[in-house]
A and B are shown apart, each in its own frame.
Chain A
């Protein structure tokens, strides 16, 4: 029996804005009157390291998504997407930003960064559909590379059981007005990726 309406895992690198996506979704869910919970990475684990966020819409239980049961995996970085792909259910969908951020282990020459096609292929073996896009490029088109997370949120808005107007309202509530324009544009570009 399902115990959550929609389970998401958002993965990326510290500083990419993983938390912001989850915060907007959580607030939108509250506006929609749905129970919602999410778990995040703070402290030591944050410093340039892998970051994972669990968000559960329409769920009254624990904030952690169980392995093998995420409906959606949102990867702000391709390697991080694959790293947390064990959370995806077989029927799940992965939304992936294809722009790599090289870990220190790669820049130091201690490890290799796998080819992008390989990452997408492996991800494809674990779920029903992979939507890959250069969200960083779209964000640059929208006016700032910082808005990459909003591109991904725009794409994600097509898949989650929350009305778009509530997601945007939540976005207005968390963003300082001066960043709003570029972020709205980024959101729209991300949304258009799956139109």
Chain B
């Protein structure tokens, strides 16, 4: 049966069909829907699904589970793998029990990310195989294949979708999901699900690590051999002297370009690393010129160049450095033109985008009524424009125009950067900010570090009680697990005190005056202070049925524009007068800002 599935849902389906028993992840675009789809699809499958506190926790939980004999997966976005890099590198030495799959979703063009690093480099770095799917169907099949590969070679395997695989939909052939306890057993590597003690393979003391490293290196040749005829490596030799090598999604661009150009070119499409070296050799012996097409880093190209040096040093290799950019996303037209250029055909000019200035920009923005906007407004009022405002990763980063987002580096870095800025000599007040989920992910150690090293800064936790940016996933501060079961609800106040904050203020950002006062007390405090600005995300509030009466502008409006400067999309300015449109969620903050008291709640 075929279904129109999101790439991430196809991956989840593949995991279920392969009998996965544990899935752990931290939300991150474009990876989040894998865990969410598993929750939706698992039915009565006996599996553990969790949103972990961060990616390092997720990978370690998945590793432990595979050591206990359960097929396991850890999901994350590419930059999440940086957080999980510590266990990631050494797990390649220690190996697996049942299969272990690491899904790291890359984001070429930074659609929703702070960088566009290439996870395939990580797989190379660790010495583990990497599967690079071209679409949902392939990603689904690779998820199942990866577990077999992992178990066969006692090694973690990486699946690396990109945004255009994870967030594309396509018709995918689905198989029945095995049901019940019975489904899981045949896949268990070591028989019963339990942890077998084996210090030589589980304890990375130097005495064990040295031989394990040797073993890991020795495995490379066998893995290479095993991937030669993996089903997603395909070689078609044609007449003529030109060839194309393309990897993952790029192979779809290449196939389409060759079809559209109506030319007969040799084509090698690959879906895994290490490369199928025999196919590469066969192609390189057959052609005199070849173009390598892949997004981001020249990972495939470097291997092709190495093989060419051995089998056909005369072959001309095109790719990065002129034909295929090393940054951003590829698309059909770009690849078509690169191939056309190689074979001397005419390139097709792209239709031009509208010149700048014609259309008003529509950047992503904080929602109407978002409490982050109110918290930042109060923060700036209390701290003044000369203060330093390190910020972090979440919806609130979009408030960059409010003057309270001076930095965004990586998850949780706001607190540690703030500390460093203070110790580096900055004397102005410093007030950093990060969301509740970001604080629990990577901010807690920074707060402890700030307390321990006596940083005089204010840390603001913008607590909207969800992981909003990635689609409203729960976290330890919400009291619910990934599967919706009630669990411990961690108090940010208690946690902040326990980590060493000298002053902890909790404020409601919809009450501007009280919030400004809270920030003022924090600013004056001679030590480490924490302000928790708590108000549920407007989207989750609406979904849970919370309705506030909207506001309107009365005849008293003098047209000063202060409410408009606040930046809420519900406030418009027309003919020297403010108006409030139907987007208003009734937070009432603008009514508190208006110096003429001209904004009022709409009467019942």
Q: Which residues of A contact B (CB under 8 A)?
A: 1-3, 13-14, 22-23, 26-27, 29-30, 34-50, 61-68, 79-80, 82-83, 85-88, 102-114, 122, 126
Contacts and interface: CB of A to CB of B under 8 A. Distances in A.
Nearest to A68: B351
A44 B581 CA distance: 24
A75 B363 CA distance: 17
A48 B359 contact: no
B438 to A, nearest CB: 14
Contacts of B567: 104, 108
Contacts of A30: 2-4, 171
Given A1-B262, A44-B112, A122 B358 contact: yes
A113 to B, nearest CB: 6
B350 A104 contact: no
Given A1-B260, A44-B112, A48-B569, 4 more contacts: A27-B4, A48-B367, A103-B363, A114-B360
A43 B30 contact: yes
Nearest to B352: A86
Interface residues of B, number: 57
Contact of B358 (A40, A46, A114): A114
B30 to A, nearest CB: 6
Interface stretch (B231-239, B251-259, B412-420): B251-259
A94 to B, nearest CB: 13
A37 B135 contact: yes
A86 B569 CA distance: 28
Interface string B382-415: 0000000000000100100000000000000000
A102 B364 CA distance: 13
A32 to B, nearest CB: 10
Contact of A86 (B353, B362, B470): B353
A66 B332 contact: yes
Interface in B553-570: 564-565, 567, 569
B3 A43 contact: no
A107 B583 CA distance: 12
Contacts of B259: 1, 3, 61
A23 B253 contact: no
Contact of A38 (B169, B352, B362): B169
Interface string B290-334: 000000000000000000000000000000000000000001110
Contacts of A65: 332
A44 B111 contact: yes
Contacts of A106: 360
Contacts of B569: 48, 104, 107
A159 B130 CA distance: 42
B350 A67 contact: yes
B17 to A, nearest CB: 19
Contact of A37 (B170, B351, B362): B170
Contacts of B359: 79, 82-83, 114
Contact of A61 (B253, B367, B470): B253
B249 interface: yes
Contacts of A44: 29, 111-112, 364, 398, 469
A48 to B, nearest CB: 5
Contacts of A107: 564, 569, 571-573
Nearest to A48: B365
Contacts of B252: 61-62
A63 B252 CA distance: 9
A13 B362 contact: yes
Contacts of A67: 331, 333, 350-351
A103 B567 CA distance: 11
Contacts of B350: 66-68, 86
29 contacts: A23-B4, A29-B4, A34-B171, A41-B167, A42-B167, A43-B29, A43-B470, A45-B112, A45-B364, A47-B367, A47-B395, A61-B252, A61-B256, A61-B332, A62-B256, A62-B331, A62-B332, A63-B169, A66-B331, A66-B332, A67-B331, A83-B353, A86-B353, A103-B361, A104-B363, A107-B564, A109-B564, A111-B361, A114-B360
